[in-house]
Amino acid sequence: MKDKYSLEEVKKIPKIELKKIIDKGREYIKKSKVVKDAFDEYKANLDEIDHIPIIFTNLDVSAKTDHGIILLNYELLCDGNFEKDYSYLAHEMVHYLQQTCRENGTESFDGHYLDNPDEQEGFKAQIQYIDDEYGESEADKYLEHLMNYHEVDGNHKEKLEDKLRE
């Protein structure tokens, strides 16, 4: 496997190969304590992961969940190492559970994206997943990237970082 792929090359990967990549990710994250805990919290069967619709598509973000369908950005495949991106699956599994296991699903939120409690729950899972898999240093790097990307600084940054590391 090459180190880098262009977006055009990634988009030409046959659907059956994309399914294999997704299925490998499903099996891996099912072993994650973070994912198991999320499914337990929502009283959902962990084997449901095998039936969650997950696809690669064009997105302006890395991943999102819409009406119980997990959408992953093709760009996650460009570096040739989707395994390092399994944390996005952990994050989106939380959104899947929020959308399908709550009586009213998720609510719209007017405010800063990272102040949304549903997003915070997803990011907590993602950061804990990174910490469990790659160590605290990598989780801290991701958290710093997240704060910079969303232009959070000062006292709000400290409070938000603490909340996401709870």
Domain ranges for the chain:
7-88
Cβ atoms of 143 and 126 within 8 Å: the answer is no
> What is the strand order of the sheet 69-73 is part of?
54-57, 69-73, 63-66
Res 1 pLDDT > 70? no
Question: Which tokens in the block code for residue 143?
Answer: 């958290």
> pLDDT for 56-101, tens place per residue?
999 999 999 999 999 999 999 999 999 999 999 999 999 999 999 9
Mean pLDDT (the chain, rounded): 93
pLDDT band at 164 (very low <50, low <70, confident <90, very high): very high
pLDDT at 106: 76
Res 110 pLDDT > 90? no
> pLDDT for 144-161, tens place per residue?
999 999 999 999 999 999
Cβ atoms of 99 and 105 within 8 Å: the answer is yes
Res 2 pLDDT > 70? no
> pLDDT for 115-147, tens place per residue?
999 999 999 999 999 999 999 999 999 999 999
Q: C-alpha distances in angstroms, 74 versus 1, 29, 97, 129, 159?
A: 17, 19, 23, 21, 33
